């Protein structure tokens, strides 16, 4: 079976689709001792020998973890300031990476994996992956702003909105929102655009997988069949 080299590398758990494409364009990837710089190059997964920086690449068993990220942990594979990272919370000898990111003091559902294709699927805007957040505001929410946030306000020069918004408490400080956006600090900036300050942010769920029931700092191992079903549900 032949597949594109960038897809093959991401499926081998080398990194996200973007990262492995950087490796290819930098000339670090070889197929049968010949350098590859075209992303569309095909590799025969049964016959070809693929290397990165001279090291042979072998397909890996895909792993999927759903972490309840706690406060004070960095969403990265390593940190130059030696702070605790989300990788430190997962007990595995395999090389994994977080899918997307949550800010240092943001909590909630975060996937970690060695499957680059899954990472690409979950983060690509065209797939409209739904994420639900619980937002705590420093001041009461004005119901007059609900329609603005649902129908759209201008952010980064374009119309931006939440798919759903609910007030969660009587003081109007706690809000639940759903969004398919993946832009950095999107939730905080949306509320900030209307003069609110987000003091706490928790991602309750992503793509239907929830952090509810998982203690902060703990994780679930997700069945690959569930991930496969998620990625191919539109094919049915």
The residues that are catalytic are 103
CB 71 within 8 A of CB 37: no
Q: Name the nearest CA neighbour of 90 among 121, 68, 106, 71.
A: 68
Residue identified by tokens 């970690």 is 112
Distance CA 99, CA 87 (A): 11
Q: Name the nearest CA neighbour of 14 among 86, 115, 124.
A: 115
Distance CA 228, CA 160 (A): 30
Q: Name the nearest CA neighbour of 186 among 210, 163, 207, 155.
A: 155
Distance CA 77, CA 93 (A): 13
Residue 93, CA atoms < 13 Å, CB-side half-sphere = 0
């Amino acid at each position: 079976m032949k597949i594109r080299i960038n897809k093959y590398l991401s499926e081998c758990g080398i990194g996200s689709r973007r990262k492995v494409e950087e490796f290819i364009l930098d000339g670090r990837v070889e197929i049968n001792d010949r350098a590859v710089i075209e992303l569309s190059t095909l590799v025969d997964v049964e016959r070809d020998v693929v290397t990165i920086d001279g090291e042979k690449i072998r397909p890996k068993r895909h792993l999927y973890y759903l972490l309840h990220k706690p406060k004070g942990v960095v969403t990265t594979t390593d940190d130059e300031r030696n702070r605790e990272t989300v990788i430190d919370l997962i007990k595995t000898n395999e090389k994994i990476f977080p899918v997307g990111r949550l800010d240092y003091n943001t909590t909630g559902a975060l996937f970690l994996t060695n499957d680059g294709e899954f990472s690409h699927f979950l983060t690509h805007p065209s797939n409209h992956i739904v994420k639900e957040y619980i937002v705590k505001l420093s001041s009461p929410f004005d119901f007059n702003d609900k329609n603005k946030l649902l129908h759209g306000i201008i952010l980064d020069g374009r119309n931006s909105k939440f798919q759903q918004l609910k007030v969660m408490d009587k003081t109007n400080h706690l809000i639940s929102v759903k969004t398919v956006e993946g832009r950095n600090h999107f939730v905080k900036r949306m509320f900030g655009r209307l003069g609110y300050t987000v003091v706490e942010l928790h991602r309750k769920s992503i793509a239907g997988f929830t952090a509810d029931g998982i203690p902060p700092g703990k994780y679930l191992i997700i069945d690959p069949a569930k991930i496969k079903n998620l990625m191919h549900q539109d094919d049915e």
